[in-house]
Structure 1
């Protein structure tokens, strides 16, 4: 029966269909069942949907000039908050050759605590409640030179997590700066 040319042709045809269709069917199943975790390398959370400072009614003092690494000052700036502000400055210093392309910024909401920082060490940017709904208290945010909010780094729970978060933020920012020609 195998020597029958019609039967042999059907076997070859079915084998070819299975050979090409099976990987597509398997891929569709893996993706639809969420068995696959994509190879995301960023440490922060991408801000979706697309948001800009202009969309919140804010003016960008560094429009077309520099990236911004911002930190939202909370209602009460305690020792944890002060450590995050310190790490904001250290992250800026650690950028090395990219340092001139980034401006560290303290983002002040209407409810933010009034804090004293060394003169000239950080720029301040007043933000509104709409902005505070996207990027909350104790959070870092990366803003590109076009005023688009790119990534946010949610509040960590302990001081032990601050340094790994800062390293992740620095790695993401370096990648963005390396790939970007803006600012």
Structure 2
């Protein structure tokens, strides 16, 4: 009698510890739930190495935009967004930089209009990077573009995208000790 009670207790103890592990493994393997992702931008896999362009620059977190040959509403929204996000960083803004990469065929009128955004830096680049001109990229202190945000024509949508950029870069600055 005592033997069967102790066997039941042993089986119950094994079940209490083993069954949750088996269920967790099955849940992970079969994608029974959505995996947590806290970033709001789209993750670049693999990252884009921008060392050739940024090799002489100080290590900072960067919001990078490539100036197109024709600056349209998307371009204007991107320039506005990176400036606003940089301003919103407040005391952390010294660890980040809003940067516009200029190519040979970049819109000179838009480049001249950048004087309206004194916090936005420019850098001439002859390197051909695989960066889209309708996106803003977050580049880490090791010069890897890691997140990007598609900028929209509509100013309200662009502002919403700016909020996502700000949330992501704040999180990255909080977690990073570099830059």
* TM bin (shorter chain): 0.7 to 0.9
Equivalent position of 1:124 in the other structure: 122
Residues 1:63 and 2:61 are matched in the alignment = no
Partner of 2:67: 73
Distance 1:13 1:59, change over 3 A: same
Is the deviation greater in 147-156 or in 29-38? Answer: 147-156
Partner of 2:79: 85
Alignment: residue pair count: 174
Query: 1:61, CA displacement in angstroms?
Result: 3.6
Structure 2: state its 5+ residue gaps.
Answer: none
Q: 1:60 & 1:174 partners in 2: Cα distance?
A: 24
Q: Distance in 1 between matches of 2:152 and 2:6?
A: 63
Deviation (angstroms), 1:50: 4.3
Structure 1 stretches of 5 or more lacking a match?
Answer: none
Deviations 1:116-140 (A, max 9, x none): 32337332232644x32xx322111
Does 2:137 correspond to 1:141?
yes
Q: Does the CA-based 8 Å contact 1:62-1:145 persist in structure 2?
A: no
Distance in 1 (CA, whole Å) between partners of 2:7 and 2:122 is 74
Tell me: CA distance 1:6–1:157, structure 2 relative to 1, closer, same or farther (3 Å): farther
Tell me the TM-score normalized by structure 2. 0.81
Residue matched to 1:164: 160
Conserved? CA contact 1:110–1:128, under 8 Å: no
Residues 8 and 39 of structure 1: is their aligned pair in 2 closer, same or farther, counting only changes over 3 Å?
same
**What's the Cα RMSD here?**
2.4
> In structure 2, what is the equivalent of residue 37 of structure 1?
34
Match of 1:17 among 11, 14, 28: 14
Question: What is aligned with 2:93?
Answer: 99
TM-score for the superposition, normalised by structure 1: 0.80
